[in-house]
Chains A and B, each alone.
Chain A
Amino acid sequence: MKFIISRYNPETDQAPYDQTFELDNSQLSADSMLLDALHLIREQEPSLSYRSSCQEGVCGSDGMNVNGKNRLSCVTSLSELGDTITLKPLPGLPIIKDLIIDMELFYTQYKAVKPFLEAKPLDLEHEHLQTPEERSKLDGAYECILCGCCSTSCPSFWWNPDQFAGPAALLAARRFVVDSRDIKHIDRLKELDSPTQTFRCRHIQNCTDACPKGLNPSHAIQELKSIMVKEL
């Protein structure tokens, strides 16, 4: 199997370049994941850098661009990728080294939508009540792992990563807007109502296509827009 991997070391390289690695099929099994292959390549080339941690798709460390699509390497089976695999860092954010990008802007956007519950005062004797129906509104939003695959596939985010919240942050925003326990509902809607926030989304749907957890940020943003039109 052939791997064309984008390399870049800021201490020695002017610009990223591609390096080709070969792995013998005998080193891999039918159910090997892309991350397994990367570990093997790192044995050949210890300076190859990529993030990874849980190796089962819940920590969100190992987002990368695989054959043109943003994915998590640990839950991407080699069998679906063909004989030549092209790996690049997630697009649209600065590259730190090889497949590692600087996600600072992504996190800044996340933090800017106030992604935290503001509930009524804490009562240590009773939890806040929430019906199963109210709780089910959080499904499809709270599962986000902040891997960045969505926002780094979003053209609106590419143009203005310092302005536009991006799909991940807006998905989080929607999660708190619809959480029945939150008391800042209207304030949240007002803050999201700027030409550079929610309504900058043009529903290109790259985010939904890219999400490795099968979430649908585009739909969530659509819902957010409807809620804002109805309630503001």
Chain B
Amino acid sequence: MTFTDSFPTETFDALVIGAGGAGMRAALQLTENGHKIAMVSKVFPTRSHTVAAQGGVNAALGNVTPDKWEWHMYDTIKGSDFLGDQDAIEFMCQEASEIVRELEHFGVPFTRLDNGKIYQRAFGGQSQNYGEDQAHRTCAAADRTGHAILHSLYQQNIRLGTTFYDEYYAVDLLKNQAGEVNGALVMNIHNGEYKVLQSPHILLATGGAGQVFRNNTNASINTGDGLGMVLRAGYPLQDMEFWQFHPTGVSGKGMLISEAVRGEGGKLRNALGEAFMEKYAPRVKELASRDVVARAIAIEVNEGRGCGPDKDYVLLDISHLPNEIITERLPGIREISQTFLGIDPVKDPIHVYPTCHYMMGGIPTNIAGQVISPDKNGNQQPVKGLYAIGECACVSVHGANRLGGNSLLDIVVFGRKAALTIHESLVNTPASNNVTLDLSAVINRLNRWLKRNDTSSNDSVTQIKKDLQHIMEKGCGVFRDQATMQNAFEELQGIQQRLENVCISDFSNVFNLERLAAYELENLVTIGFATVTSALARKESRGAHSRVDYTERDDENWLQHTLYFQKNHTLTYKPVNLSPKHHKSIEPKPRVY
């Protein structure tokens, strides 16, 4: 059989793709405003990866230490190594307090202070009064904040009766004859049937793509599906060279050990027992930005001061903390250590090493959540009908390095904002369903995976994915240089070749996970190219992009965002926004912790 262009079609006011925190907050808003929406998710909503976020969400509530959104803004810009857009960061930090109180109102079981207010913990890169004392800004529900937020948002969506398409996979964006995005082709994973969901507003909230690296804290569903769709539709990805390596993943396995562990007082030690962060960040030590701590750990291990038989990890020690702190505020961390390392952190230190955690780059958007792409004259223009929020988007509020606790903030702030943008547009122009969509490209793609293996090749989707992950880890890890990245780029071309030839062996329709993995792999490979191409070009070290051949930040030439287009792997650049609306501009300066 082959696919033709007759698929059942349904129409909606808006389509939300991805049911993590961002998508769920947006869906809640749209449903509350009375719009007919479809929430498409490839897993049951509470399985989305927001569920794994641990530490908390930043807001200058000032419940523990005095705080102002302006200080939060300053810390975020400094943390971003000045690549973050200052207007967007200002907007996010201003909204933070309200959005956290709103989450609390939705039912999030935040840990409480004795006076009944929300507990806030110390996190890396946070300060009072523009770089002075440590701030306590991260609102926490023990060490399960993401779980608490995701479930509460899902529950509120149940209250309002949002329409969910659970276990539907979004294959590609569809355009109308005017070339505007106007729908998406989705596959029901339960029976392999395809459907066209047509809508003038498509909101992508598909999350990260950490699966492109071998060692990562991400779920296996984090394959950057939204990013692949956007690239194939001809739009760019921004700042894809910036991947956050979380300093403390379980060594060799990758599970996340929250920054909350250091926020509550955990110390990092090398094989000699030295609390080595004193060397790298004398003032704030363990609570420096994540890129700084990750590099410090990598240097300790590279210079032979790692622990264990292979000297390939360092120790994260909390045994000096009172037991109540560990059992009340870090119960999830204790559980992970016991399950995956057989270690009880009450007594023994946790084995940690940096692991890929977060994608700072993504689909370029403005503050309103609209996807932005350069027009023929190079002017940045909103793409009609297409929106992106959360980790898949790059507003950019995280710049070259995200601060812990800003991701959960990002998803809810821009989730709500994008939904309000769509709402306004729908009020002005109601959705029309009289549209013809161009299905030719996506049908070719579907038909390509119907090809049967008629060669002796025993290559497989799984094997290609594994090799891709190795190439990316080797070529684009914590430290990078021209030669290894160039090598990675060439190896990626081999991967591309294999991807074009490989066949799947399962052609059934019900829960065909091999076919799903094939679609996902196509996305991952495009992301590999976007990352390596962008990283090769950026000849400086900034935030999470550390090059051993260009060790300094170069504001003169590189204070700009990268835009990557899939066609011929082209790059263009756009300036960083340095003019917030209310606050005075924060001038780039050397970043010391």
**Bound state CA distance, A187 and B110, in angstroms?**
24
Which residues of chain A from 83 to 120 have a CB within 8 Å of any chain B CB? 96-98, 100, 103, 107, 111, 114-119
Residue A232 CB within 8 A of the other chain: no
Query: CB-CB < 8 A to A49: which residues of B?
Result: 510-513
CA distance A153 to B116 in the complex (A): 38
Smallest CB-CB separation from A213: which chain B residue? B335
Residues A132 and B219 in contact in the complex (CB < 8 Å), given A11-B510, A97-B511, A145-B51: no
Q: Which of A56, A60, A96, A143 contacts B255 (CB 8 A)?
A: A56
* A43 and B46 contact, Cβ closer than 8 Å, known pairs A111-B158, A142-B151: no
Q: Is A229 an interface residue (CB 8 A)?
A: no
Bound complex: CA A77 to CA B340 (Å): 9
Contact A128 B460 (CB under 8 A): no
Q: Is the CB of B155 within 8 A of A116?
A: yes
A-B contact count (CB 8 A): 159
Query: Complex: how many Å from CA A1 to CA B109?
Result: 43
Q: By the criterion CB–CB under 8 Å, are B158 and A47 in contact?
A: no
Contact of A128 among B49, B104, B221, B335 (CB under 8 A): B104
Complex-state Cα separation, A103 to B110, whole angstroms:
29
Given the known inter-chain contacts A54-B219, A124-B101, please indicate yes or no for A59 contacting B52, CB distance below 8 A: yes
Shortest CB distance A187–B (Å): 14
Q: Are A43 and B460 in contact, CB atoms less than 8 angstroms apart?
A: yes
Within B424-480, the residues touching A (CB, 8 Å) are: 460-462
**Given A31-B342, A55-B220: A129 touches B46 (CB 8 Å cut-off):** no
Is B340 touching A31 in the complex (CB atoms < 8 A)? yes
Q: A77 contacts which chain B residues (CB < 8 A)? A: 339
**Which residues of A have CB within 8 Å of B159?**
114, 116, 118
Q: Looking at the complex, which one of B46, B101, B112 makes contact with A145 (CB distance below 8 Å)?
A: B46
Known contacts A96-B511, A122-B101, A124-B102; is-contact A56 B52 (Cβ 8 Å): yes
Q: Flag if A135 contacts B112 (CB, 8 Å).
A: yes
Interface residues on B, range: 35 or more
Chain B residues in 8 Å Cβ range of A103: 44
Cβ of A57 within 8 Å of any chain B Cβ, yes or no, is yes
Contact in complex: B506, A46 (CB < 8 Å): yes
Interface presence of A24 (CB below 8 A): no
Residues of A within 8 A of B110 (CB): 127, 135
CB-based contact B514/A47 at 8 Å: yes
Provide the main secondary structure of the chain A interface: loop
A129 near B117 with CB under 8 A, answer yes
Determine the distance from Cα of A128 to Cα of B115 in the docked complex, in whole angstroms. 11
B336-354 interface (Cβ within 8 A of A):
336, 339-342
Answer yes or no: A58 CB below 8 A from chain B CBs: yes
Q: List residues of chain A with CB within 8 A of the CB of B583.
A: none
A36 to chain B: closest residue by CB? B253
Chain A residues within 8 Å of B513, by CB: 42, 46, 49
Q: Which residues 40-69 in A have Cβ within 8 Å of B in the complex?
A: 42-43, 46-47, 49, 51-61
CB pair A143 B147 closer than 8 Å: yes
Contact A138 B109 (CB under 8 A): yes
Check: A146 CB closer than 8 A to any chain B CB. yes
Q: Which residues of B contact A61 (CB under 8 A)?
A: 43-44, 47
Smallest beta-carbon distance A174→chain B, Å: 13
Q: Which A residues have a C-beta under 8 Å from some C-beta of B?
A: 9-12, 31, 33, 42-43, 46-47, 49, 51-61, 75, 77, 96-98, 100, 103, 107, 111, 114-119, 122-132, 134-135, 138, 142-143, 145-146, 176, 179, 181
18 inter-chain pairs at a CB distance below 8 angstroms, sorted by A residue, are: A11-B508, A31-B342, A47-B508, A49-B511, A54-B47, A56-B52, A58-B144, A61-B47, A75-B339, A103-B44, A111-B158, A116-B107, A122-B105, A124-B98, A126-B101, A131-B116, A135-B109, A181-B107
